[in-house]
Amino acid sequence: MNYLRKNKNKKQGFTLIELLVTMAILGVLATVISSGYTSSRTRGRDITRKSDLKQIATSLETFFNDYGKYPGSDASGQILGCPYTPSTGVGTACVWPNKQTFTDTKSVYFNNLPKDPVVAQTYFYRSFDFGKKFQLFSHIENSKDQDCTLPGCGTITIGGVTLNCGASSPCNFATTSSNTNTLE
């Protein structure tokens, strides 16, 4: 009888140790899930960049088929083709952060040129060798990406100038015309 009375008076609940262990386990799980989510978002943005550059490269090849040269570029890495004027051979700069149409007056080569998924970053276009070659650059966030231009996703420097794809994002990935060396 005494035994039953003791159990009746004993309060049920969790000890401090049990609560701390549970909170620690939840903290570890939250960290693991959060880091997995962040890396998935990074990979997703990198895939978007690569897809954008391939689509732009395809439109540049179509332009080359029509005119025998790629559109010019300016010092800030913009395509001079929004719009391109065939009679003068000159185009207005396509400003990357804005969605603009890469066109001449007859054909639309790219409707709404894409922008980098990160607001502070941009794509960089370079036309050279009198319009016979082009390079398109972006900044890939994943430093272990096998497609980066340089080992370890290093920054791209051409002619002593480091190509800039954003405020603090040097270019480290390139898509080029078929007759262009990446670092040419």
Mean pLDDT of 47-58: 94
Check residue 62 and give its pLDDT: 94
Q: Are 71 and 79 spatial neighbours (Cβ–Cβ below 8 Å)?
A: yes
The string of DSSP codes covering 67-110 is HSSPPPB-TTS-BEEEEEETTTTEEEE--TTS---EE-SS-EEE
Q: Supply φ then ψ for residue 50, to 5 degrees.
A: -60, -40
Polymer length of the chain: 184
Per-residue pLDDT reduced to its tens digit, 115-135 = 899 988 999 999 999 999 999
pLDDT digits (tens, 9 = 90+) for 138-169: 998 887 776 776 656 777 888 777 888 887 78
Confirm whether pTM is higher than 0.85: no
Burial of 13 (0-12, 13-18, 19+ CB in 10 A): exposed
